[in-house]
Structure 1
Amino acid sequence: MGVSTKNIKWTQTEDEKIIEQESHDRLSSLPSEILDHILSFLSMNEVVKTGLLSRKWRYFWHSTPCLNFDFRDFWNQERCLNLSYNECVIKFWVFVKCAIVIRSPICRLRLYCEKCDAVQLESLLHLCAMKEVQELDIFTGYGILQCPIYCGVPTHVDAFIQGVNSLVELQPLTSFSNLKTLNLVGVHFDGSDLAEKVLSDCGVLETLSLEYCCFVMINYLKISANKLRIFNFVNNGPYWWGYTCMFEGELELHTPNLVSFWYIGPVLQLSRSSDMPFLKNASIELRCQNKPGDLGAMVLGIRHVQELSVSPNFVLYYSPAFEKYAGDFSPLDSLRCLKVYMEFTEEHVEGLVKLLQCSRNLEALCIGFTEHPRTIGWESRKIDVLISHKLKEIEIFTSGDLVNLLELIKFFLENGKSLEKINITQKEEMLDPEELYTLHQVQLACESVSISIGLASASGTIKMFEFSFWKCGSGTAGQSIQYSYR
């Protein structure tokens, strides 16, 4: 006879209940370090909501060391309460300062707010200094669409903000003792000394990024950070109601351990006392400006660089057409690798020639043409001040016909005494190796050199043509050709 289980009641032991609870809440059982890492990807508005999960999570957001404040998330939630935009801004800053005050230490703080004036910014920086923040990212949203000349946080703030501000005003903004990373995007620096307070004494700062910031009435800026290794400066602020938001004053760098410098903007007026003796790599992308600047002073500041990437305007400054504006160029004796983006015009080619003459120890050269090379009136010639005797390899990237580059290739063959290889890569189907046959009449400066031409097809096959040139008894070049596919 079968046994009926209809009226049987199953009872769980205490251990089984605990196992069942833990299986349903595996997230809470994770180590606090892993939970902090997970929450670091959420905005602070979302982190606070985790307090509704359980009793264990009720106050967990009080101790998270990574804070991420995003006004956009805050505004999307609070406007459901029929608050105005300005009222939301006030409430957001109450939330930000409250969250900072109740916790310590803070490893990383990120803030996105489209409405931030100098007063709020200074109080925020002071709180971050007090809490010994190690990584600080501030993005105010300005500098891309508009510049906050007349914008700011409303003056009618509640008692909490007034209390925090009064606490901040007790002491001037001190230096950051633990700050290692500082990223400021779209931050508005007015005529006050806020920029000097923040940047003049950064004891352990290693990475600094200033992007699209607004500099108004600031003619001198000093950055002093003995341990700074990476400095990114996107000096491309907009013009707003007659104000020049980009920095056009004198920049003094006391960064003896800087190894990487990335700059976008007009010619930067670097102080002669700037210190970058161990600069390894730099990228300079010059933008147009109303009047030509003294590029010679900027080159003097980066004269110790080993690897350099430059834009077409940088090359143009070296041409004779800009000689009266650019000043004297100091030699780049430490430069080993040069990457050049340029147009194929007479002015740019002449600028490239002078730049190579100033790089006396160059070992590798890479040229990328920003447009289709066209026929120009420039002709190759032997120059008195030779290019580097260490230059052995040249890379050329082009999307144009090789026939327009023959004079430039001829120039390298006639003046590169140690040249061994020229690699040419084409982006479009214009490969015609027969155009190089005319080079057999070139007077080679080196004993032998090979020229390879490559074209990558859509299927991934790389078509390669290799030429070999060697110096004959008459001084002209003999040649051979090889075809290969990869």
Structure 2
Amino acid sequence: MALTLANTKIRSSGYDGDRLSSLPEHLICHILSFLETIDVIRAGSVCRKWRYFWVEMPYLNFNVDTIWSHPELRWSMETINGKFKDFVNWVLMSQDCSVHIQRFRLKYTNYGGDYTFCRWMNVLAQRKVQRLDLKLLSETPMELPRCIVNCESLVDLKIYFDLYCVLKLPEFPGFTGLKSLYLCKVEFSDPVVLAKFVSSCPVLESLIMHSCVFSDFKILDITAPRLRNLTINVLAFHGDGLNCEVVIACPSLVSFDLLGSPSWLSFKDTNSLQNVLLYFDSDLSDIATFEESRNLLNSILKGIRNIEVLKLSPAFLEFLLLAVPKPECFSASFCNLKSLMLYVTMDEYDQSIIHLLNRAPNLEALSVFFEWWEGWSDNWKMPNKDIPCLRDHLREVELIDIVGNNNELELIKFILKNGHVLQNMNIYWGKELENPSKIISEVMKFPRSSSDVVLTFFEPQSDIFFRQCRGKIV
């Protein structure tokens, strides 16, 4: 997209110039950093002052799909790729080599046997690149160039594959300055190499593995002394997913998101953990015995007992029901838990909701997402007993996708009746509900323990659960 400035004139006190050029140079550089490099170069034809601005730009963005308009109508893919390589080579050779590259973005088709990519990475390492964002289509397994692995200036690395591709991880120490690593559609074949790679990144703080494949893994071991944020998401992969044991040993870990169903999950030395999302995509009782399922649940609950924020999927709640009949399997208390988010699809979940509330005496915020289905029977029976968090701490409640069935109304009535310090209850209607006025009238008649509670009703919000999970579910 070309930058157009022809009509942005300002006239004041005899000064005649375009608004963008009158800004400080560092602001102009920041604005142009959002454009692709080809558009920054084109901007030089609009303003004489910018003619060679791109020569010292520390932000480089190259995309083989958008550098020309409909190139496939004129050239073959081989010609397109050749012209794109020539353009990137020309920019890298023409720029001031003394300027350190702050961010380099590249979308490129990396054919097997093509060493152009390695040469580009070597130039970036020499120019002390800080952030590297790669979107690649590779026909063969890809190996990270040694120059990038040894690049001490690199702090942020993102690698996206258009199609699943094997990434050969280095078996030697490297990434001494890397703080953030994002990998998408990467196939891992050796659990030992992956574990060694992660543990050898001395200052790594954020690791996201999105839609990755862990083929033939028995154990996925994540051990990193300074890792604070970890996401493992295999929901988009239609295969075995995460059918292995997951071991997390990260003493500095604060946030952990697991999207997929492991055969086992255990935490070691994770006392700093505060925020956890467990989005199991299948009922583990289908792939494990009853005793194995209870033991796994006990291991998980012990590992997350000190957290402050917890988000759970329907499959995990169904899994949680296994522990309800036996109190010894549900002995963990969440004394630090402040916020609980649940996604409910089955009518038996009243038991797991109440047991979780009972085990979180200091809970302050509750969100429940309902998914209505035709087989849902209205049979929830709320207990007639005091729940500590409702009595002393629960102030904020969100109920999403309400359609007015009896189970939902029973939960609303129960919370209003027992929420002594409740301040806000927000109710989001489901898309299927056409006229909520009757339900509103019924809800407003429910008895309330808190005189300060404010009920607010909202129009349907699509995919609000996934947005609140920070967009990590696809």
Deviation of the 1:263 alpha carbon = 2.6
Query: How many pairs are equivalent?
Result: 394
Task: Determine the structure 1 residue equivalent to 2:321.
Answer: 319
Give the whole-Å Cα distance in 1 for the aligned partners of 2:198 and 2:391. 42
Which residue is 2:307 aligned to? Answer: 305
Inter-partner Cα distance in structure 2 for 1:148 and 1:322 = 42
Q: Quick one: which amino acid aligns to residue 228 of structure 1?
A: L
CA deviations on 1:126-179 (whole Å, 9 max, x unpaired) are 62333541110100123xxxx447xx99xxxxxxxxxxxxxx9xx943131111
In the alignment, which residue of structure 2 is the partner of 1:115? 138
1:435 and 2:442 aligned: yes
Displacement of 1:349 in angstroms is 1.2
Contact kept? 2:402, 2:408, Cα under 8 Å: no
What is the aligned partner in structure 2 of residue 251 from structure 1?
246
Correspondent of 2:129 among 106, 129, 137:
106
Residues 46, 182 of structure 1: alpha-carbon distance in 2 compared, 3 angstrom cutoff: farther
Q: Is the 8 A contact 1:136 1:181 kept in 2?
A: yes
1:95 counterpart residue number: 116
The alpha-carbon distance between structure 1 residues 234 and 68, as it changes in their structure 2 partners (threshold 3 A), is farther
CA distance in 1, matches of 2:62, 2:178: 18
Q: Aligned-pair distance for 1:356?
A: 1.7
Q: Which residue of 2 aligns with 1:42?
A: 36
Specify the SS of the correspondent of 1:397: strand
**Letter of the 1:90 counterpart:** Y
The 1-side partners of 2:253 and 2:201 are apart by: 13
Distance 2:403 2:281 in 1: 25
The 1-side partners of 2:80 and 2:192 are apart by 30
Question: 1:291 is matched with which residue?
Answer: 287
Give distance in 2, aligned partners of 1:306 and 1:96.
Answer: 44
Whole-Å Cα distance in 1 between the matches of residues 385 and 173 of structure 2?
56
Q: Equivalent residue for 2:368?
A: 367
Question: 1:233 aligned to 2:235?
Answer: no
Q: Do the aligned partners of 2:111 and 2:140 also contact (CA within 8 Å) in 1?
A: no
Once the 2 structures are TM-superposed, how far is the Cα of residue 348 of structure 1 from its aligned partner? 1.3
Report how far residue 423 of structure 1 moved.
Answer: 2.0
SS in 2 for 1:350: helix
Closer, same or farther in 2 for the Cα pair 1:200/1:71, shift >3 Å? farther
Summarize deviations over 1:68-95 as a string: whole Å, max 9, x none: 5656569987993673999973389522
State the secondary structure of the residue aligned to 1:247. coil
* TM superposition shift of 1:450: 6.2
> Corresponding residue for 1:222?
221
- Choose 1 or 2 for highest CA Rg: 1
Report the Cα distance in structure 2 between the residues aligned to 1:417 and 1:353, rounded to whole angstroms: 13
Distance of aligned partners of 1:377 and 1:227 in 2 relative to their CA distance in 1, 3 Å threshold: same
CA contact (8 A) 2:413 2:443 kept: no
- Structure 1 distance, partners of 2:243, 2:269, is 16
AA partner of residue 138 (structure 2): K
**How far is the alpha carbon of 1:360 from its aligned partner?**
2.9
Task: Give the root-mean-square deviation of aligned CA atoms.
Answer: 4.6
Listed one character per residue, the Cα deviations across residues 20-77 of structure 1 (whole Å, up to 9, x for unaligned) are: xxx99x98x985896587357436x8889999999x999977x865565656569987
- Report % sequence identity: 21
Q: Distance in 2 between matches of 1:217 and 1:457?
A: 46
In the other structure, the counterpart of 1:465 is none
**1:426-450 CA distance string (max 9 Å, x none):** 424323355358856xxx9x6x556
Q: Does 1:83 align with 2:78?
A: yes
Gaps of 5+ in 1: 1-22, 154-167, 459-486
- Alignment correspondent of 2:400: 397
Change (3 A) 1:328 1:35: same
Taking the TM superposition and a 5 Å limit, the aligned residue runs for 1:131-210 are: 132-142=153-163, 147-148=164-165, 172-191=171-190, 193-210=192-209
SS of the residue 2:207 aligns to:
strand
Q: Secondary structure of 1:226's partner?
A: coil
1:280 aligned residue: 274
Measured in 1, the distance between the counterparts of 2:78 and 2:225 equals: 47
Q: 1:192 to 1:334 in 2, by over 3 A?
A: closer
Secondary structure of the residue aligned to 1:368 is strand
Cα 1:213/1:327, change in 2 over 3 Å: farther
How has the CA–CA distance of structure 1 residues 67 and 453 changed in structure 2, closer, same or farther, with 3 Å as cutoff?
same
Cα distance change, pair 353–454 in 1 and its aligned pair in 2 (3 A): same
Code of the aligned partner of 1:430: P
Distance in 2 (CA, whole Å) between partners of 1:321 and 1:192 is: 32
Change over 3 Å in CA distance of 1:253–1:202 after alignment to 2: farther
| TM-fit CA distance, 1:327 | 5.4
Give the Cα separation in 1 of the matches to 2:36 and 2:406: 56
Stretches of structure 2 lacking an aligned partner (at least 5 in a row)? 1-16, 83-108, 461-474
8 Å contact 1:67–1:108 — kept in the other structure?
no
Q: Does the C-alpha gap of structure 1 residues 417 and 51 become closer, same or farther in structure 2, counting only changes over 3 Å?
A: closer
Q: Deviations over 1:373-432 (max 9, x none)?
A: 965123233359866653333333343226543433454467x47454562524243233
TM-score (norm 2): 0.67
* 2:400 match: secondary structure: strand
Per-residue deviation at 1:98?
0.6
Letter in 1 for 2:133: R
Aligned residue for 2:437, secondary structure, equals coil
The aligned residue for residue 266 of structure 1 is 261
Q: Which amino acid aligns with 1:263?
A: L
Q: Counterpart of 1:334?
A: 336
Q: 1:436 to 1:132 in 2, by over 3 A?
A: closer
Cα 1:263–1:60 change in 2 (3 A) is: same
- Residues 395, 303 of structure 1: alpha-carbon distance in 2 compared, 3 angstrom cutoff: same
The amino acid that maps onto 2:442 is: E
- Counterparts of residues 22-33 of structure 1 (less than 5 Å): none
Conserved 8 A contact 1:68-1:110? no
Separation in 2 of the partners of 1:57 and 1:413? 66
Q: Is the 8 A contact 2:367 2:399 kept in 1?
A: yes
Report the alpha carbon displacement of residue 365 of structure 1 after superposing the two structures with TM: 1.9
